[in-house]
Structure 1
Amino acid sequence: MDRIGIIGVGEIGRAIVTGLSDGVEKPPQICLSPRGARTAAELAERYPNVRVCADNQEVADRADTVILAVRPHGHAEALAGLRIGDGKVVISVIAGVSISELRRTLGTGAPMVRAIPLPAARERRSVTVTHPSHPAVESLFDALGGVLPVADEAAFDVYSTLTGTLTVHYWYLATLADWASRQGIPPEDADRYIRSLFQGVGRALHDENRSLHQLAGDHETPNGSNERIRTTWFDTSNAEALSKALDALLAHLR
């Protein structure tokens, strides 16, 4: 695998480094920018194939594949003056920033690919959406759980919108735990039970022979508890509100 550089070492950068390095017999050489200094230093100390560079330019100079993982807000300022040779490959994981916009910022003719790696990349279980298709990029993300190339940026933005629902799931679980605590359940017991309950539900998602609607139906009994909550709380108006929120996020990303 080519030498990899990561500019902006946050949660996704950490996941990529961990997935490519942890327990891997021959991991790639990885160069990290000093942005996110604490995380970068921690990763360099843990993995001998990882080093922290003096600045973003050193990362771009040393790497064959450059991953841009800075925050969307202020990305132009964070990348200002960065020079990336046309012979490199650039992967952007910056949400809501198109290839054309990024190319204007960087002024490079290098191949450029957008990607949506997930935190599960650290466990090599992230199916990463990419656009456009590029063999080196697909090889990299195959090593992290698989790759899903899409035909155009419009489709890519739909997948990017879906990632905006991740923390909703955690908040939903936290709301359940808070409710149980108000009924007199010790918070630590409620937390433990809810984690166990939904880890089990998550494992059922590995069964790809059943659709998501079928999985929901298989976990219900007629007039049972699950059906009652689904039909009284997650009703038509609730589903429509979620769809409208997704529409608004998609418009924002575009």
Structure 2
Amino acid sequence: MQRIGIIGVGEIGRAIVAGLCDGGGESPEVFLSPRGARAAAELSARYEGVQVCAGNQEVVDRSDVVIIAVRVPDRHEALAGLRVDGGKTVISLMAGVGNDELRRMLATDAAVVRAIPLPSVRERSCITVTFPSHPVADALFERLGGTQPVADEAAFNVFSALTGTLTTQYWYLATLASWAAGQGIDSAVADRYVRGLFQGIGRSLSDGTRSLHQLAADHETPNGSNERIRTTWFGPANSAALGKALDDLLADLK
């Protein structure tokens, strides 16, 4: 079992630890940086094999796989002076930071892999995009729900841009619940109903035999309510605006 080190214990770092340690079977040893001290201490108290290190260099020294999950603006401060020997595997979760740039920052010839895990790795239900394909990184994320290696960083950046739409989905649902509350529905009741309404979408998405467009069509009645909202609100103008926002994000990620 590989020893896992995580530098930057934010939401994704916490989700990775939970996914690794709650999945049954043998859990790896996990070494956490003191960055995000409160979260790191909570994880260490919850899981027997999780330890908080005194500093980032100790995380590196005690680990076979080093996951870098710091915020991009904090990367120089967090990684300055780290020594990473060539026998380790470094997995970067930093959006917009290429493998060559990170390898130069660390002055290492270790294997460097980019990855895009999402919070659902906590439940081991997330497909994680990686580049390049690497047996150690791919095996780690297979354990957390599955892996999707891509051919180059250009493709990786496209998937990275897609993840930028995640919180928009939550905001969309919150807007629906707020609208209902504005119509006189109790806000807690509206919230509960919207959650239940869209949990069904998650289940239907597991049907890989139907395309996304087919799923939409299967849930519409011609001239019905769903078709009306889709064609009047999410029409060509809004579709183009979403595409433009993704184009701009992709340009920044490059």
Asked if Structure 1 and Structure 2 have the same fold, meaning a TM-score greater than 0.5 normalized by the shorter chain, the answer is yes
Structure 1 moving runs of 4+ over 4 Å: none
Distance in 2 between residues matched to 1:23 and 1:222, nearest whole Å? 44
- Amino acid corresponding to residue 202 of structure 1 in structure 2: G
Give the aligned partner of residue 4 of structure 1: 4
Distance in 2 between residues matched to 1:22 and 1:51, nearest whole Å? 16
**Any conservation in 1 of the 2:23–2:124 contact (CA below 8 Å)?**
no
Matched, 1:71 2:83: no
Distance in 1 between residues matched to 2:176 and 2:77, nearest whole Å? 41
Residue 100 of structure 1: how far off its partner (Å) = 1.1
Q: Deviations for 1:66-102, whole angstroms, at most 9, x for unmatched residues?
A: 0000001121221111111111100000111001111
Q: Deviations for 1:108-138, whole angstroms, at most 9, x for unmatched residues?
A: 1100000001101000011000000110111
Give the aligned partner of residue 19 of structure 2: 19
Residue 25 of structure 1: how far off its partner (Å) = 2.3
Matched, 1:82 2:82: yes
**Any conservation in 1 of the 2:120–2:126 contact (CA below 8 Å)?**
yes
Distance in 1 between residues matched to 2:183 and 2:216, nearest whole Å? 27
- Amino acid corresponding to residue 222 of structure 1 in structure 2: P
Name the % identity: 67
Matched, 1:61 2:67: no
Give the aligned partner of residue 145 of structure 2: 145
Distance in 2 between residues matched to 1:136 and 1:79, nearest whole Å? 22
Unpaired runs of at least 5, structure 2: none
**Any conservation in 1 of the 2:132–2:151 contact (CA below 8 Å)?**
yes
Give the aligned partner of residue 31 of structure 1: 31
In structure 2, the residue corresponding to 1:66 is in which secondary structure? Answer: strand
Give the aligned partner of residue 234 of structure 1: 234
- Amino acid corresponding to residue 33 of structure 1 in structure 2: S
What value does the CA root-mean-square deviation take over the aligned residues? 0.6
Query: How many residues in Structure 1 have an aligned counterpart in Structure 2?
Result: 254
Unpaired runs of at least 5, structure 1: none
Distance in 2 between residues matched to 1:67 and 1:28, nearest whole Å? 14
